[in-house]
Amino acid sequence: MTNACFYHAGCPVCVSAEQTLLNLLAPHVKVEVVHLGDQKQRVVEAEQAGVKSVPALVVDGQVLHLNFGASIDDLK
Amino acid sequence: MTNACFYHAGCPVCVSAEQTLLNLLAPHVKVEVVHLGDQKQRVVEAEQAGVKSVPALVVDGQVLHLNFGASIDDLK
């Protein structure tokens, strides 16, 4: 079982894109989703894991920073 | 079967991180990996798909831009 942690901050566009990614992940990957806006006490943990921006996926100590390039149109 | 396309430009750090992500993807996802440095004729295709930067994963018309935040240490 691979454990992963998905940090985000609640942006609707990002949540939608994250869902796409989470749906793609293999069944053997257990992903914990952490909303840092709601769980500010976990920001330090994210920083210590190497998270520089959100959304980010941390897997086996490796940080994958995700930037979905949301356009203005997506936000309308 | 979900089809996805991973565009990158050959950075060793990114290739390593991509491999981590590709290993996580579910078996029902078929990922084509395109090195845009080697296959410049596919840059237009990537642009038309909405790719603004690499590495990026395009899935079902949705572009996930990835930015691994490689540190200088990773590049040593």
Reported as a single tens digit per residue, the pLDDT across A13-41 is 677 777 878 888 878 788 999 999 899 99
- List the CATH code of the domain at A2-74: 3.40.30.10
* Distance of alpha carbon B21 from alpha carbon A68, whole angstroms: 16
User: What is the pLDDT at residue B62?
Assistant: 84
Largest CA distance in chain B: 39
Inter-chain contact A69–B53, Cβ cutoff 8 Å? yes
DSSP designation for B40: G
| Mean of all residue pLDDT scores within chain B | 82
- Interatomic CA distance for residues B6 and B25, integer angstroms: 12
3-state SS class at A72: helix
- Which residues of B lie closer than 8 Å to A, measured between beta carbons? 2, 4, 17, 20-21, 24-27, 29, 50, 52-53, 57, 59-60, 62-69
Q: State the average pLDDT for chain A.
A: 82
- Token pair in block for residue B37: 């440095």
A2, A21, A25 member nearest B64 (Cβ): A21
Which of the residue ranges A71-75, B5-9, B36-40, B45-49 would you say has the lowest mean pLDDT? Answer: A71-75
Shortest CA gap A5–chain B (Å)? 13
- The pTM score is 0.79
Torsion B61-B52-B21-A73 (CA) sign = negative
Tell me the one-letter amino acid at A14.
C
ipTM: 0.71
| Residue of A20, A25, A62 to mutate for B, most B C-beta atoms under 10 A | A20
Q: Does the distance separating the beta carbons of A27 and B24 come in below 8 Å?
A: no
Q: Which residues of B touch A3 (CB under 8 A)?
A: none
